[in-house]
Amino acid sequence: MSEPLKIAIAGLGTVGLGVVRLLTDNGAQIAHRCGRDVSIFAVSARDAGRDRGVDVSKFKWYDNPVAMARDADVDVYVELIGGEGGVAKESCEAAITAGKSVVTANKALIAHHGTALALEAEKGGVGLAYEAAVAGGIPIVKSLREGLAGNQITDLYGILNGTCNYILTTMRETGREFDDVLAEAQALGYAEADPSFDVDGVDAAHKLAILASLAFGCQVNFGDSYVEGIRHISALDIRFATELGYRIKFLGIARSTEDGIIQRVHPCMVKLDSPIAHVEGVYNAVVAQGDFVGSTVYEGRGAGEGPTASAVVADLVDIARGVKSPAFGVPASQLSSLSTAPMDRHVGSYYIRLMVLDRPGVFADVAGVLRDEEVSMEAILQRTRSPGESVPVVMTTHDVEEESMRRALDRFAKYDTVVEQPRMIRIEPLTL
């Protein structure tokens, strides 16, 4: 058997300890499959004396992960610190400069600096691997980079954030409002104390930018993503969606068009007969459309100790076997700089909800705005109450350019009979 692959792990949180446990419990099986041991040589975390429920005393301890990344006895540096910059970025750069491959679960780091890190890794002849950064236990990075390498990918979409999927699922099942379900998700550990990255869409946008680079051979471009969270989704919207034959799902969508690459993250209404409509709870799912393979669907747990640790170790196994693939499917120097299609040019159908005072002439005003902006209604639901009370008016539209739809919403909001901010959710005719 070959010399062991010596790894250093920076960050002993949930995922880091999961990696320690997996390599300990399944070490013999991994060695058999790799032809060599994958052994933990060193670790680094903030508090050396903390009881983590796992014995890490047998590993070399570093207070400074950058110093650990430079240790001559380390073959692979595993970064599980998190964050787009700071010590996470510095330590990965130090490892690459020292001639060591890097494995990371840090989607923010890859979304912001992945292209630059890949360029440096290729110059140094080392690997940059990040399967665990997107969709946890789903091997979507390897699938796009290797399994679908013979295809031209035209569309990619998916549920990329388990916290948001859990919240929307629970809201639908219980009829409760967003704030109430978010508090429950925090109590259960599905959402952070500050949930902004999840519920405002940043986490999903990080992951989508990475997947778009893999799918379309372009530089990672998080900055030009359209991002909209789920805070504005109400139990009322979810009930109307069901009545209209839809589910509300929080999706990341990437598509190659004549106008450029579309990268958008936002709530969508999807038909009940769409497979992704039935991906519930904390699960993730990704659908990729290739010109020869057709649609491929990947589903599994998107986060947590076990699935994410499994993805980290999958990258370590590749390195131990001597498998070296370009980080984004093609050499980083050949990644194209593709333009991004503006969101205002998006053409699709929409769900619109207005809360209006039930007075004569209100609907005529609404119809007039839609006529002026060339928005054609497909269906309308209207509830009646006592005159003078607010009532929901719900419409779905035929395909229209988003700029026109937004102009109509701005005009609705100016009427004194519209008592709440108009709500808009895009309807997605997903391909499968």
DSSP secondary structure, 210-269, as one string? HHHHHHHTB----TT-EE--STT--HHHHHHHHHTTEEEEEEEEEEEETTEEEEEEEEEE
pLDDT at 303: 83
Nearest to 413 by CA among 405, 401, 422, 425: 422
- 278 and 390 within one domain: no
- 277 and 174 within one domain: yes
Beta strands 101-104 and 128-129 are parallel
- 22 and 160 within one domain: no
Q: Does residue 314 belong to any structural domain of this protein?
A: no
- 154 and 127 within one domain: no
Q: Which domain range does residue 111 map to? A: 5-133
pLDDT at 49: 78
- 354 and 253 within one domain: no
User: % helix / strand / coil in the chain, to the nearest 5?
Assistant: 40, 25, 35
Alpha carbons 20 and 13: distance in angstroms, whole number? 11
Q: Which of 85, 105, 133 is the last residue of a domain?
A: 133
- Report the pLDDT averaged over residues 173-193: 93
Alpha carbons 74 and 8: distance in angstroms, whole number? 6
For residues 49 and 190, the model is more confident at 190
Q: Does residue 316 belong to any structural domain of this protein?
A: no
pLDDT at 288: 95
- 247 and 177 within one domain: yes
Torsions phi, psi for 420 (to 5 deg): -135, 160
- 238 and 201 within one domain: yes
Mean pLDDT of the chain: 93
Looking at the structure of the chain, the number of domains it has is 3
Give the number of other CB atoms < 10 A from CB of residue 134. 30
Amino acid letter, residue 344: D
- 291 and 144 within one domain: yes
pLDDT at 432: 60
- 212 and 171 within one domain: yes
Torsion sign across C-alpha atoms 398, 400, 404, 409: positive
- Three-state SS at 157: strand
pLDDT tens digits for 357-371? 878 788 888 889 999
Nearest to 98 by CA among 65, 124, 130: 124
Is the pLDDT at 386 greater than 70, yes or no? no
**What's the CATH code of the domain at 189?**
3.30.360.10
List residues bridging with 381 in a β-sheet. 394
Amino acid letter, residue 244: L
Which residues does 371 contact at the CB level (< 8 Å), separation at least 6?
none
Query: Where do runs of H (alpha helix) occur along 63-189?
Result: 65-69, 86-97, 107-124, 140-142, 162-174, 178-187
The residues assigned a catalytic role are 207
Which residues does 171 contact at the CB level (< 8 Å), separation at least 6?
177, 178, 181, 233, 235, 238
Torsions phi, psi for 412 (to 5 deg): -60, -45
Q: Which of 79, 102, 133 is the last residue of a domain?
A: 133
Retrieve residue 167's tokens: 């919240």
- The answer to whether the predicted template modeling score (pTM) of the entire model surpasses 0.85 is yes
pLDDT tens digits for 24-37? 999 999 999 999 99
- Report the pLDDT averaged over residues 295-309: 91
Is the pLDDT at 173 greater than 80, yes or no? yes
- 199 and 57 within one domain: no
Nearest to 283 by CA among 98, 395, 158: 158
List residues bridging with 39 in a β-sheet. 6
- 126 and 147 within one domain: no
Nearest to 251 by CA among 427, 432, 394: 427
- 401 and 273 within one domain: no
Distance in Å from the first CA to the final CA of the chain = 45
Q: Which of 74, 108, 133 is the last residue of a domain?
A: 133
Alpha carbons 399 and 30: distance in angstroms, whole number? 52
Cβ 308 vs Cβ 136: under 8 Å: yes
pLDDT tens digits for 81-132? 999 999 999 999 999 999 999 999 999 999 999 999 999 999 999 999 999 9
